[in-house]
Chains A and B, each alone.
Chain A
């Protein structure tokens, strides 16, 4: 009995030390990325290439998902609002839900699954096949050449993807509400225009997505860099990226929402 308790305590202690160690390593890693971010200005081509892979190639999934989320919001919103006789408020409901919460959170979750996991797997495999070592031995710092461009590409891409997600969602809501159900088009847009505040809603949503971009991309590049250089190691690092990103996004969303609204 006592021995089981001691073993569990030891495991807890070990886990805590590991978590703290990893957070410390991640912080030093972030600092190192910032210090090696000169290529952002001197060689923008490196970042643009990564924006293509992380951002442009995510456009389809982000835009299609945005459209469907907007359509679902249109349907669910209408069936609820019509009970209270305020179906005209559908435009504001769709826009506010998307701009404040669903847009930043869902776009970040999709980005973590689509681009974050790809970054981790790519960096992890580069490590496993000694490509990062080979680069360092050729006097090229892998943090500056591989990690920093991906990190900044993620931070630039996610807010833009979020904005596109929102736009597609608003059109999805419009399609269901106005075209399919037959609500007044003017009411949809004017209600939205009245309810949405540029600073309060649009900017705050964008700020959220910048925070999510930093978190998701840092987790993705860190897990790749820290991956055990084996097939199983890269696979579990990729899983960790998706799981940790999802948890961090949702927890961060709660904290940011509490501060912002």
Chain B
């Protein structure tokens, strides 16, 4: 997916991460060129969100390297990390808007905190971002007055307030009605095209991933098990990919939790033999 001469914008090399004794990521390798929109798919708990946390420096890997735009994120100190984050935006799963601030103040927050722009310029920038997400006229609303879809769009406007080079989307489509979902999907694509932002989208939504992304990665049990362009994914014979695309319960990824007791035991039918 990348020319040999082209330097990857994001380079994740042999990354391993565990919470305590519980391994989450094992030997992850990813190379993403500048300006691409990447989807990372996988079941719940496969380590997708952890991967985003490593990229934003919220967690450090136990092994391996996380390189973004030539900078080693895993080696950054506090100051370097905060400087790096000024060129990055992240859309959280439920928006994570500040509930004590209005819509306007939420979007103005990164601008006020990270720049010395005068208030009238900040006002213009916030209004532009609000217009871009189709929410002109909501600036004075409290976050509690917003619907789920509107809140996600405000959060998107806030995440792109500083025109980031890198955007991270954590489950951007979860819990949205079809219209909000379509709008968010369109905005993600537009942002990626118009600003040339490199974007990583962690999601369960196979339909929108294949529609939006330049390249799709599949994760299971802390590793990348398959990848390809949307066309390659659709035509893939890989049983892992097939199972994801079809949403089948049977396949290499087990739907059922590997229980240690038998069904008969759960219903008290095997007690005579015990």
Contacts and interface: CB of A to CB of B under 8 A. Distances in A.
A140 B92 contact: no
B99 interface: yes
Contact of A139 (B94, B99, B110): B110
Contacts of B3: none
A114 interface: no
Contacts of B58: 133, 136-137
Contacts of A145: 113
Interface string A114-152: 000000000001100111011111111100010000000
A138 B93 contact: no
Contacts of B94: 129-130
Given A138-B110, A140-B114, A130 B93 contact: yes
A129 B158 CA distance: 16
Contacts of B99: 125-126, 129, 131
Interface of A is mostly: helix
B82 A139 contact: yes
B113 A134 contact: no
Interface in B81-135: 82-83, 85-86, 88, 90, 92-94, 96-99, 109-110, 113-114
Contacts of A129: 94, 96, 99
Contacts of A125: 99
Given A131-B98, A133-B58, A138 B109 contact: yes
* B contact residues, range: 20 to 34
From A133, A134, A137, A140, residue with most partner B Cβ within 10 Å = A137
A38 to B, nearest CB: 13
A226 B86 CA distance: 26
B90 A137 contact: yes
Contacts of A141: 82
A134 B86 CA distance: 12
From B56, B83, B110, residue with most partner A Cβ within 10 Å = B110
Nearest to B92: A130
Interface in A21-49: none
A140 B58 CA distance: 13
Interface in B202-235: none
Interface residues of A, number: 15
Given A129-B99, A145-B113, A137 B85 contact: yes
A84 B92 CA distance: 71
B96 A130 contact: yes
A131 B106 CA distance: 11
Contacts of A135: 98
Contacts of A140: 109-110, 113-114
From A126, A133, A134, A135, residue with most partner B Cβ within 10 Å = A134
Contact of A137 (B56, B83, B97): B56
A139 B96 contact: no
Contacts of A126: 98-99
Nearest to A130: B96
Contact of A131 (B90, B96, B110, B113): B96
Contacts of B96: 129-131, 133-134
Interface string B158-175: 100000000000000000
Interface in B43-98: 56, 58, 82-83, 85-86, 88, 90, 92-94, 96-98
Contacts of B109: 138, 140
A139 B85 CA distance: 5
Nearest to A141: B82
From A138, A139, A141, A145, residue with most partner B Cβ within 10 Å = A138
Nearest to B52: A137
Contacts of A130: 92-94, 96
Contacts of B114: 138-140
From A125, A130, A141, residue with most partner B Cβ within 10 Å = A130
Nearest to B168: A137
A139 B92 contact: no
A201 B93 CA distance: 55
A44 to B, nearest CB: 16
Nearest to A53: B100
Interface of A: 125-126, 129-131, 133-141, 145
Given A133-B96, A135-B98, A139-B82, 9 more contacts: A125-B99, A129-B96, A133-B92, A134-B98, A136-B58, A138-B158, A139-B85, A140-B113, A145-B113
Rank and list the top 3 A-B pairs by shortest CB-CB distance, nearest first: A134-B96, A130-B96, A139-B85
